[in-house]
């Protein structure tokens, strides 16, 4: 198990990130029982392949012993406790038939580079854009020509993705504020409509026809008494 200890220490000193792991089940022959029964007797054993980020070589361990050694390394300060929990979580997911998640943006399908470049990077032990941005000199030598350009592209892409974080939060806050204003406006509109519906309706009084002022008609003129006629005159008074 010294290989696990060396690998854990190396990972902690170089990247600070968990190693890539792959689980599998193999048939392990039980030698003593095979000799006693005169036939091959085997049992299924879970194995783990551990590969340092950007490394060419990998190591294979029996999972139960590997997990136990990880806990020892964590107590001794050779392996972060969160790495131990990370490996245990991955193993549990694998036992449940779940696909192991990739911690970061997968190199496979990354549209910034050509598919052929993705295959070269994956073969060199790098699976995520974030790891490509932090790859060491050994990994760059394995990739060969164009390694620095690929690393620069990955660093620029990661920086741009991180810069979008505050902008996304700001846009989210503005959207929430806009939704609140919209909701308040709808409530105000409903209140105004309710007040209008409760207001008593005033019935409009029909306009009354104005009565004509009394005047003099032609019949009134005909029926009026004639003025008295003046006589021959009265005798003058003599003084």
**What are the pLDDT tens digits along the chain (239 aa)?**
444 445 444 444 444 788 888 899 988 877 887 777 777 777 889 999 998 887 767 889 999 999 999 999 999 999 999 999 999 999 999 988 887 777 788 888 888 888 889 998 988 888 889 889 888 888 888 888 889 999 999 999 888 877 755 555 565 566 667 767 777 788 888 888 888 887 765 545 555 555 555 555 555 555 555 555 555 555 555 54
Strand partners, 62: 47
Same domain, 7 and 66: yes
69 located within any domain? yes
The pLDDT value given to residue 64: 93
Specify the 3-state DSSP secondary structure of 14: helix
Domain total of the chain = 2
CB count in 10 Å sphere of residue 6: 12
C-alpha dist (Å) from residue 78 to 1, 12, 16, 81: 13, 7, 11, 9
Same domain, 97 and 19: yes
Contact 4, 66 (CB under 8 A): yes
The pLDDT value given to residue 13: 40
Residue (of 23, 12, 14, 16) closest to 88 by Cα position: 23
The pLDDT value given to residue 11: 42
12 located within any domain? yes
219 located within any domain? no
Domain of 180 in residue numbering reads as 103-188
Q: Bin 134: left if φ > 0, else alpha if -120 < ψ < 50, else beta.
A: alpha
C-alpha dist (Å) from residue 99 to 22, 109, 110: 11, 17, 20
The pLDDT value given to residue 230: 55
Domain boundary among the residues 144, 161, 188 is at 188
């Amino acid at each position: 198990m010294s290989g696990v200890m060396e690998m854990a220490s190396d990972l902690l000193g170089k990247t600070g990130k968990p190693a890539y792991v792959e689980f599998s089940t193999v048939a392990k022959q039980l030698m003593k029982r095979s000799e006693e029964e005169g036939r091959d007797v085997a049992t299924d054993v879970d194995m783990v392949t551990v590969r340092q980020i950007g490394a060419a070589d990998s190591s294979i361990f029996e999972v139960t012993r590997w997990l136990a050694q990880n806990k020892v390394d964590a107590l001794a300060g050779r392996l972060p406790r969160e790495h131990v929990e990370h490996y245990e979580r991955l193993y549990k997911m694998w036992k449940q038939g779940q696909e192991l998640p990739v911690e970061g943006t997968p190199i496979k399908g990354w549209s910034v580079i050509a598919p052929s470049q993705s295959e070269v990077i994956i073969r060199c032990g790098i699976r995520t854009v974030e790891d490509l941005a932090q790859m060491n000199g050994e990994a760059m030598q394995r990739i060969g020509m164009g390694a620095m350009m690929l690393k620069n592209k990955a660093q620029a892409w990661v920086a741009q993705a991180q810069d979008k974080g505050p902008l996304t939060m700001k846009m989210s806050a503005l959207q929430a504020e806009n939704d609140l204003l919209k909701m308040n406006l709808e409530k105000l509109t409903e209140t105004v409509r309710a007040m209008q519906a409760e207001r008593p309706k005033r019935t409009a009084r029909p306009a009354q026809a104005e009565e004509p002022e009394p005047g003099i008609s032609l019949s009134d003129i005909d029926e009026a008494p004639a003025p008295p006629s003046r006589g021959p005159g009265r005798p003058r008074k003599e003084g």
